[in-house]
Structure 1
Amino acid sequence: MIRTCEIFLQTGRRPRDASQQLHIHTNTLYQRLARIDSLIGSEWRHDPERALETQIALQLLRVARTMDDVPQRNDSDPIA
C-alpha cells in the first residue's frame, strides 16, 4: 500500500495515471485507496497540505529504511 500511496501522489493524484504506472485496473486502485483512507483518513487525497505531509512521511520512511541497511559503527572500533 505504501507504493500505491507514493505513486498516487507522484502522479498528481490522478487515478488513471497512477493505475497505469502501477499496472493495475483503476477499480483496484480505488480499492487500495479506500483501504489507505480507512487507515489514515481521506484528507491526504483531497487536501494539498495533508498530501504534502503524507509525501514527507513517505520520504522519511524511505530514509529510515535506508539507514537500517547501513552498517552501524561499533563504538569500540577505532575512528578511521
Structure 2
Amino acid sequence: MYPLPEVPLPQLTCQLLTLLAQVTGHRIHALTKIRTRNITRFSNRLEIKIPDSIKTSSRSTCQPLLVVPDFTENSHTLCIS
C-alpha cells in the first residue's frame, strides 16, 4: 500500500481497523465507536476512549480505553501488510 495518497480511503480504513483489532484485542464493533475527538496523543502512545455503549457494556464495567503504544524499535524496517 504505497504511496499512501494513491491508496483508496476504504482500503486504508479496512487496513487500519484490522491493525487496531490486532493491536488492541477489541472487536470491530468496539472499533466502530471510535470518534476522533476521543483520541489523545502522548509522546509514547495513543489513547482512544470509547464512551458509547458496546455489546459487552454493563453498568458495573468501565468503557474501553484502547492504548496503542509507539513502535520505535527498528521502525525503519517495519512493514505491516
For the aligned pair, the TM-score class normalised by the smaller chain equals 0.3 to 0.5
Name the structure where strand makes up a greater proportion of residues.
2
TM-score normalised over the length of structure 1:
0.37
TM-score normalised over the length of structure 2:
0.36
Q: Tell me which structure has the larger Cα radius of gyration.
A: 1
Name the structure where helix makes up a greater proportion of residues.
1
